[in-house]
Amino acid sequence: MPPISVLLVLALLPLACYAERYQPTWESLDTRPLPKWYDSSKIGIFIHWGVFSVPGMGEWFWEEWQGRHEPVFMKFMEKNYPPGFQYSDFAPMFKAEMWNPEEWADLFAKSGARYVVLTSKHHEGFTLWPSAHSWNWNAMENGPHRDLVGDLAAAIRKHPSLHFGLYHSLFEWFNPIFLQDQKNNFTTQNFIREKTGAELYEIVNQYNPEVIWSDGDWSANPEYWNSTNFLAWLYNDSPVRDTVVVNDRWGVGAMCKHGDFFTCADRYNPGHVLAHKWENAMTIDKNSWGLDRMTQFKDYLTIQELINELVITISCGGNLLVNVGPAADGRILPIFQERLLQMGSWLDVNGAAIYDSHPWSTQNDTSSGSVWYTLGADRSTVYAITLTWPDASQLHLGSITHAPSSVKLLGIAHEVSFTFATDIGLVINLPHLPEGKLSWAWTFELSYSTEHASAKSKVVV
């Protein structure tokens, strides 16, 4: 017979396992630690693609046309399509005939991103996978006649540096089941059981996404959306329970309060460190997430603007989710490709200041306002990233309160000379820049002992 102590341990094991399970309450769900890969990755790619890509006037086209009856959209349809044309008639035109998911995956890997989030379903309700809950309004039965989600997931997973994630809209503008629940003041949940809730379980079980980027939650509370029950299952029993992360859009009152990372608003960048992990989901097209054929050159971010956004976001503890809107035929426009490849070339040189980094005690330098700081993964290196190259021959860093043992400019092998005084800070003698090699933002690597870089800097993790 085993010793009593062994029997006692065996008897308590079920209780211990039960205690570790997350309950379907925000109090319990909010205790889950953030999976390390997400904070380490720093940069992701967002893809808004769907039937809305056919008219090519942004992802809200259907609502703007037949919901709000905006004059620009009404005139566009009157001019270009016959009377009686319905939004559903766009679906067969969404062919993705030039789409190569491997080319997309290669581009995203070269961009320096570490995760990819595809719109599995936007507010139009069209699913990019063969959903059992979206009859004839999915990419297998209509339009491309292929599993876009599955094909992209397979291509992404050929790149070890990339994680795969999915955006999913909870509500649908014109779904009659949702509209009936809404008419019932959300006292019924037929839409959750028959459509959107069932889809969430379906995409997790079929595609194992490591990001669930929820949206379209603003019309009802989390109880209607069954959010906490789904998240408890996701964290406890789903095939991605150990690695998945979710955002904060799970019903009225959840945004900026609950979730593994906060988004708080579109294009959110607070400019300072938050107590909770956050993400800046933003667009290269300044005005649209989906393809907008009316966008002018001036409406795209320059690479300087994109790098500035990246640096400030990471310095303040956020992740950057960079959006592109492909064409209906599956092409990513050259200007999007250019921006992503430029970002990748910058990260090839400066990635040590970005990936696996932590916010330092100071984000923006007190003397040089164009300088933003990060703390390296080793916690003994401080990175000072200047968004402008000074006109003078020196860079003054007023926030540096201890002399580093050495200073280097990333991309140049040799050390850089400097002077330090406690009442002035650090003054770096700027080196000569090699022609065409370093552009857009420049990173100085300040080496310290761990004590001076981390402990005395009151690092926020």
Q: What is the dihedral of CA 54, 59, 61, 67, to 10 degrees?
A: 140
The whole-number average pLDDT for the span 356-366 is 95
pLDDT of residue 330: 98
Name 407's bridge partners: 446
At 375, the pLDDT band (50, 70, 90 cuts) reads: very high
The whole-number average pLDDT for the span 201-216 is 98
Residues 6+ apart with CB under 8 A from 206: 129, 150
pLDDT of residue 192: 98
Q: What is the pLDDT of residues 44-64, one digit of tens each?
A: 999 999 999 999 999 999 999
What is 275-319 written as a DSSP string?
SS-EEEEEESBTT-SS-BTT--GGGBPPHHHHHHHHHHHHHTTEE
pLDDT of residue 453: 64
Dihedrals phi, psi of 351, to nearest 5 degrees? -60, -25
Q: What is the pLDDT of residues 383-404, one digit of tens each?
A: 999 999 998 899 999 999 999 9
Give the rounded percent of residues in the chain with a pLDDT score beyond 90. 90
Residue appearing with tokens 């769907």: 50
Helical segments of 140-293, H only: 148-156, 176-183, 190-191, 197-207, 222-225, 227-236
Give the rounded percent of residues in the chain with a pLDDT score beyond 70. 93
Q: What is the pLDDT of residues 271-322, one digit of tens each?
A: 999 999 999 999 999 999 999 999 999 999 999 999 999 999 999 999 999 9
At 4, the pLDDT band (50, 70, 90 cuts) reads: low
At 451, the pLDDT band (50, 70, 90 cuts) reads: low
Residues 6+ apart with CB under 8 A from 269: 280, 282, 309, 312, 313, 316, 318
Pairwise pLDDT comparison (432 vs 451), residue with the higher score:
432
CA-to-CA distance for 147 and 369, rounded, in angstroms? 48
CA-to-CA distance for 31 and 22, rounded, in angstroms? 8
Q: What would the two tokens of residue 240 be?
A: 């991605």
Query: Does residue 117 have a pLDDT over 70?
Result: yes
Query: b or e along 96-127 (b: 16 or more beta carbons within 10 Å of the residue's beta carbon)?
Result: beebebeebbebbbbbbbbbbbbbbbbbbbbb
Dihedrals phi, psi of 432, to nearest 5 degrees? -75, 130
Q: What is the pLDDT of residues 314-360, one digit of tens each?
A: 999 999 999 999 999 999 999 999 999 999 999 999 999 999 999 99
Residue appearing with tokens 């509370």: 221
pLDDT of residue 20: 83
Q: What is the pLDDT of residues 425-436, one digit of tens each?
A: 999 999 988 877
Q: What is the pLDDT of residues 81-94, one digit of tens each?
A: 999 999 999 999 99
pLDDT of residue 457: 41
pTM: 0.93
Q: Are 344 and 361 a contacting pair, CB within 8 Å?
A: no
* Sign of the Cα pseudo-torsion (131, 133, 137, 142, in order): positive
pLDDT of residue 16: 43
CB atoms within 10 A of CB 70: 15
How many residues does the structure list for the chain? 461
Q: What is the mean pLDDT of the chain?
A: 94
Q: What is the pLDDT of residues 123-149, one digit of tens each?
A: 999 999 999 999 999 999 999 999 999
Q: What is the pLDDT of residues 222-249, one digit of tens each?
A: 999 999 999 999 999 999 999 999 999 9
CA-to-CA distance for 277 and 358, rounded, in angstroms? 11
Q: What is the dihedral of CA 106, 107, 110, 113, to 10 degrees?
A: -100
